[in-house]
């Protein structure tokens, strides 16, 4: 975690009631570059067709332009490209593929928000947290069930719920 975000994290940790109202200055060229470096090199391109290797050819200029657009209010997310991936039951699962710049901005914003909200999560929270994954959640669940008395386990799967939500 960069030092300026470590300070944000420390402020969130020390004063639970702290309100963070001005965070855009944390989305700078360095934050955008860190976000770019986190992108998967073989990821599919969005509606603009730009890949990681395309963007990287003029990285400094591209990130400078992106940062400028973010800070002047000219940045607008692009439509998400819809693709369908096959499911085991023969159906197809819809998947949205954002553009590379949208992924970069999302990742940079997530980095700032994680510095603030990470302190609010409990130890057994796993969803969408850095350094945590579903396999670790399942391992924790297994350990808890095998080492403690459990009265009931709830499992819910709402079929195609997200397919129907606008």
Stretches where the chain sits below pLDDT 50 are none
Query: What pLDDT does 166 receive?
Result: 67
Instruction: Say what the alpha-carbon torsion angle 65, 81, 54, 104 is, to the nearest 10 degrees.
Output: 50
Query: What pLDDT does 61 receive?
Result: 98
Query: What pLDDT does 37 receive?
Result: 97
What residues contact 65, with CB distance under 8 A and at least 6 apart? none
């Amino acid at each position: 975690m960069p030092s300026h975000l470590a300070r944000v994290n420390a402020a969130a940790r020390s004063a639970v009631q702290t309100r963070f109202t001005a965070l855009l200055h944390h989305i700078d060229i360095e934050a955008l570059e860190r976000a770019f470096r986190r992108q998967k090199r073989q990821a599919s391109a969005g509606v603009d067709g730009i890949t990681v290797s395309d963007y990287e050819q003029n990285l400094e200029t591209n990130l400078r332009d992106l940062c400028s657009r973010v800070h002047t209010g000219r940045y607008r997310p692009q439509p998400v490209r819809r693709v369908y991936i096959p499911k085991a039951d023969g159906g197809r699962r819809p998947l949205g593929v954002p553009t590379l710049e949208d992924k970069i901005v999302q990742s940079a914003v997530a980095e700032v928000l994680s510095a603030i909200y990470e302190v609010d999560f409990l130890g057994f929270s796993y969803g969408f947290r850095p350094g945590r994954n579903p396999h670790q959640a399942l391992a924790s669940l297994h350990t808890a069930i095998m080492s403690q008395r459990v009265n009931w386990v709830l499992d819910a799967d709402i079929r195609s719920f997200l397919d129907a939500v606008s």
